[in-house]
Chains A and B, each alone.
Chain A
């Protein structure tokens, strides 16, 4: 069952210096319950695609169905079905964790008492219990990320979009976040659509990869299939595979984390 399908989804921004084709035409399907890694270099159009799929940005071309709702005709249905964590997060540093969680519950139309309960539940699930009365600005990077995700899970969405969820996190927090993503899928069957430019993360976490470059999908498959097809063998590194796909230069002698 496809939970997302898009056809020619495109977005052009009109800027002072002329039009910018951020997304030229994305065709993809995401199956229910899968962890999809949406991989691509900076500026490839990942965030723009996510913002279209979450109704934040109107496409200038193409169409998409998200969780059974047509993106253009039923944005409210799409909003009820999915959660979204932007790269920058989305909490006010001056407000307490509890207040943000409760307000989010109320924005999803939970009654007051239920929103307060839901805040406690989310805090328990995401290991934020001791932090509820702290201001958001006083959280560490990893705690902040867990809060962002808690906010997005308020209404138990079937589909969760994460935009570069581990950028800027220390290795311990990154590992914790990977576990969290797997747990969401295994325990709740949540479909997770995550963007990353870390190849190791895409490799370790995703059931399937969609590689985008310059606003179009350039490869699509399981990590091992992509390695076989583009990297020469199943043992090829994802880095070599990626370079073969995007045709960019030679492998940088950069240590981990491998970013493109």
Chain B
């Protein structure tokens, strides 16, 4: 919901500048996977703050519960059991949800003006009152995040608690995390904080520990500290080098204005042909009518 209507950096399906008089600090949420114990307190806090209740699902033999993101579950802990080194089992638990991309594919793909906005603080927010339920955002997102409600056919996802952040609070998941695995602040501070964590992890034998802030989407406003930074796929298929699909780029890039131009030119060509070459009339026709 629009609490920050003057802080808009980008707005879906809008070709003019959005109100951008105010410039706010770029924020970020940092999720340190090495500190996460998988307690799902953040999931509960998300439901609580946003007043969401998913349907009771079925146990399919994994710890992920609910099994997937939905219009009611904006964040889900994804549990991966991996053996990075022979004989050394690791349980990697990744808090999945919207990454709040600096270059959001969802926003680029959306055809409805103002259904998706990006605030100057970096949060990407869906304004469901403008959503038409076309699902284009799904094709645009490199992280498989937006979900269309089966009830109202609107798209939903994590808001990074834009309503809390707008009044100076941290997101609900951050507030509740008992181990301090989720922290929130300015993006610069979070990168700095991550560097400390990565040095620490490297000292403890995780030589590939790294920050996940993928450049392919211009960086994200939800970042991870990964113990195995060289293999993000280990973490429930976190993409190594995410980017907006070239097909979506083709579909939403320069092609469309050019296609509009083509249609306009065709109509003009017809009109000018008529006023120059003139209609094709059959001479004898007059006497037949």
To the question of whether A and B form a pair in one complex, the answer is no
Chain A residues within 8 Å of B, Cβ to Cβ? none
Chain B residues within 8 Å of A, Cβ to Cβ? none
